């Protein structure tokens, strides 16, 4: 079962930096994330979600391949490719995987203007090593919400808020 962690930062850059570091940790097999999203709130109060994966583009690529294949079967590969790309892009745009967008926007509404938050859906983690790396990098933020164990949440708070 995946665990949710939400961390608030005082600026709009730190969340992106932490997401980059978590991606490196994932390549080292120290953390496995189902989803990781940066949410920013600009100086005018506008909230923007920065997804790690562009589902619209992925859907378009997937749809174009299927459309081309089906189009070749009916002797019109260009039309099949075009239709497949369009329907794939639409399906990707409508598909929401990972953390619910409405939930993120609702929680981000309470952020101060000019700040950001990092939403992480963690499937598996080597806790000590990940916390050690976050401490080395000097990330500072406020833990807004988690579904971690009490002990794990306290350890995370010590590193980020300490």
Upper half-sphere CA count for residue 96 (Cβ side, 13 Å):
8
- Mean local confidence (pLDDT), 51-77: 62
**Cα–Cα distance list, 54 to 58, 132, 133, 145 (Å):** 6, 30, 27, 25
- Mean local confidence (pLDDT), 35-58: 80
Upper half-sphere CA count for residue 43 (Cβ side, 13 Å):
0
Per-residue pLDDT at 101: 85
User: Average pLDDT, whole number, for the chain?
Assistant: 83
pLDDT band at 87 (very low <50, low <70, confident <90, very high): low
Per-residue pLDDT at 79: 66
**Cα–Cα distance list, 71 to 35, 59, 91, 106, 139 (Å):** 34, 17, 19, 43, 51
Stretch among 47-56, 85-94, 135-144 having the lowest mean pLDDT = 85-94
Query: Would you tell me how many other CB atoms lie within 10 Å of the CB of residue 154?
Result: 11
- Mean local confidence (pLDDT), 47-74: 65
3-52+100-161 CATH, one of 1.20.1740, 1.10.3470, 3.40.1520, 3.90.1750: 3.40.1520
- The whole-model pTM stands at 0.73
Q: Which residue has the higher pLDDT, 56 or 43?
A: 43
Domain boundary assignment for the chain:
3-52+100-161, 55-94
Q: pLDDT tens digits for 111-156?
A: 999 999 999 999 998 878 999 999 999 999 999 988 888 998 999 9
Q: Which residue has the higher pLDDT, 152 or 72?
A: 152
> Sign of the C-alpha dihedral, residues 15, 33, 101, 51?
positive
| Residue 82: pLDDT over 90 | no
Distance between CA 45 and CA 58 in Å, rounded? 30
3-state secondary structure of 36: strand
Percent share of the chain, pLDDT over 70:
73
pLDDT band at 78 (very low <50, low <70, confident <90, very high): confident
**DSSP annotation string for 75-138:** T-HHHHHHHHHHHHHHHHHH---SS-HHHHHHHHTTSPTTEEEEEEEEEEE-HHHHHHHHHHHT
pLDDT band at 69 (very low <50, low <70, confident <90, very high): low
Contact 24, 130 (CB under 8 A): no
């Amino acid at each position: 079962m995946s665990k949710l962690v939400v961390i608030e930062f005082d600026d709009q850059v730190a969340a992106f930096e932490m997401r980059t570091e978590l991606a490196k940790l994932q390549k080292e097999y120290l953390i496995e994330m189902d989803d990781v999203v940066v949410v920013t709130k600009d100086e005018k109060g506008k909230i923007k979600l920065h997804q790690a994966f562009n589902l619209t583009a992925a859907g378009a690529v997937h749809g174009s391949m299927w459309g081309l294949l089906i189009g070749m079967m009916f002797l019109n590969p260009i039309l099949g490719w075009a239709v497949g790309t369009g329907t794939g892009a639409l399906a990707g745009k409508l598909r929401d995987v990972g953390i619910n967008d409405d939930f993120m926007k609702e929680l981000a509404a309470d952020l101060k203007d000019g700040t950001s938050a990092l939403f992480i859906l963690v499937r598996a983690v080597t806790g000590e090593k990940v916390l050690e790396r976050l401490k080395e990098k000097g990330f500072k933020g406020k833990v807004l919400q988690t579904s971690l164990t009490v002990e794990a949440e306290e350890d995370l708070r010590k590193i980020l808020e300490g």
